[in-house]
């Protein structure tokens, strides 16, 4: 049970109440403590705020305008200031003992940032059956050096060493890139574990926030030239992207060879493919 863990959870939402409801329903089914969940509503205009206020959450913070993910994540992380803070999307479904799997794996592998394995796409397969099996068979699988912003558990040491997310709405879609970059520069160890699984419908809320601000959904940067904040040349960025893709391919091949699946998959038409 998570009751013995010093953990807080937070996510931001902007409309898309049906995805928020599915996420929280899955938390309830998996006995995730809702009184440790802080939800930041970035000025939703649908039923989101009324729905959130009907729940026994740790706190609901309602922003008067869409301040982006970075500001919202900071608001949530600062509310409880726990040993571990789980920053996550609201367009996900969680599985049994997902928090225990995350934290235990982080402790065992001496990681200060850790993400769960995930399947992205349509929920047209038996996710809970897959997660139950995979958590056992891939419990020791970990991708050291790679984490993702769909869901990440952050140890409080990271806030002290790196700071929080850049609180600039113009960075929408780029806050996580900067955060991971600064964490690596500070020598923070991170990873993704097969001991915890979730299903991700696919950046539903972030896409909605981008559209509200007039940004392209496919654009990873809040504004052109935000990548200059990494203090890297175009060539360095190109080389890093190539190396990351090669490393992901290596992990995928190694995991499929050992487990018959990998820590990152996509679902379509009831079929799963591994990334």
Over residues 12-58, the pLDDT tens digits come to 999 999 999 999 999 999 999 999 999 999 999 999 999 999 999 99
Beta strands of the chain (E only): which ranges? 7-13, 37-42, 59-63, 84-88, 92-94, 113-121, 142-144, 151-155, 190-200, 264-268, 271-274
Domains of the chain plus CATH, in order, are: 2-231 (3.90.550.10)
What is the b/e burial string over 213-227, where b = at least 16 CB atoms within 10 angstroms of the residue's CB? Answer: eebeeeeebbeeebb
Residue 130's CB: how many other CB atoms inside 10 A?
18
What pLDDT sits at residue 1?
A: 47
Band (pLDDT 50/70/90 cuts) for residue 217 is very low
Q: What is the arithmetic mean of pLDDT over 209-230?
A: 55
**What are 71-107's pLDDT values in tens digits?**
999 999 999 999 999 999 999 999 999 999 999 999 9
pTM metric for this prediction: 0.89
The helix-helix angle for 68-80 and 204-212 (nearest 10°) equals 120
């Amino acid at each position: 049970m998570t009751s013995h863990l010093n953990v807080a959870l937070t996510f931001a939402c902007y409309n898309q109440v049906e995805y928020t409801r599915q996420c929280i329903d899955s938390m309830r089914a998996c006995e995730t403590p809702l009184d440790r969940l802080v939800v930041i509503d970035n000025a939703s205009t649908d039923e989101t705020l009324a729905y959130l206020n009907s729940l026994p959450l740790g706190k609901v913070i309602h922003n008067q305008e869409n301040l982006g993910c970075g500001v919202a994540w900071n608001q949530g992380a600062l509310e409880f200031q726990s040993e571990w803070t789980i920053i996550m999307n609201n367009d996900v479904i969680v599985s049994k003992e997902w928090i225990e799997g995350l934290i235990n794996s982080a402790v065992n592998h001496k990681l200060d940032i850790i993400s769960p394995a995930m399947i992205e796409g349509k929920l047209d397969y038996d996710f809970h059956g897959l997660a139950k099996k995979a958590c056992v068979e891939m419990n020791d699988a970990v991708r050291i050096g790679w984490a993702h912003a769909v869901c990440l558990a952050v140890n409080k040491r990271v806030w002290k060493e790196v700071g929080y997310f850049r609180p600039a709405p113009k960075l929408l879609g780029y806050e996580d890139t900067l955060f991971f970059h600064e964490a690596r520069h500070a020598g923070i160890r991170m990873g993704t574990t097969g001991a915890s699984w979730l299903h991700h419908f696919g950046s539903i809320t972030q896409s909605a926030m981008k559209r509200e601000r007039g940004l392209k959904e496919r654009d990873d940067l809040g504004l052109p030239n935000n990548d200059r904040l990494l203090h890297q040349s175009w060539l360095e960025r190109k080389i890093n992207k190539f190396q990351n893709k090669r490393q992901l391919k290596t992990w995928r091949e190694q995991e499929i060879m050992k487990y018959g699946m990998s820590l990152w998959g996509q679902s379509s038409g009831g079929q799963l493919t591994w990334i």
